[in-house]
Amino acid sequence: MADHYRAPGWFTRNVANRAVAGLTRAGVSVLGSRVLEVRGRSSGEPRRTPVNLLTLDGRQYLVSARGHGQWVRNVRAAGGDLALLRGRGRTRYLASEVAPDDSVDVLRAYLARWKAEVGAFFEGVGPNSSDEQIRRIAPRHPVFALTPR
């Protein structure tokens, strides 16, 4: 399951992601959007991608709807060191990966907020699915708890 990843299509890559990233860089958060900045694991250069920042019970989380993609691999390789950008603001975090069995509540809240946007990547599982159904797909959707630095 660690290899599970659904690459974005042309429209998402070239239009949607760029639009959300542009708005976020301008300081306009689209439903909690941020631009994730993390050191590339091969190049060492900063890599940026739009993400949805989830706040649940006073904690902040990042969820990879598409699976174990590049930003997930880079966060792991960087030891969890990352920054979230919004406008001119930059907040540094330490990201700790949440075990799949412990991520059910986070995934449920993420789906409740963004199912219309990301539901296609969750194999029919939604915010009203049982814990068992969410736990089944959890290994395919890495979750990171964020601690401000």
Task: Please say whether the structural domain 10-148 has been given the CATH code 2.30.110.10.
Answer: yes
Q: What is the separation, in whole angstroms, between the first and last Cα of the chain?
A: 31
Greater model confidence, 31 or 3: 3
Query: 114, 103 in Cβ contact below 8 A?
Result: no
Residue ranges of domains in the chain: 10-148
Output the pLDDT for position 23: 57
Tell me: pLDDT of 45 over 60: yes
pTM for the predicted model, two decimal places: 0.82
Output the pLDDT for position 22: 60
For 101-139, write each residue's pLDDT tens digit: 999 999 999 999 999 889 899 999 999 999 999 999 999
What tokens does 67 get? 């699976």
Output the pLDDT for position 129: 98
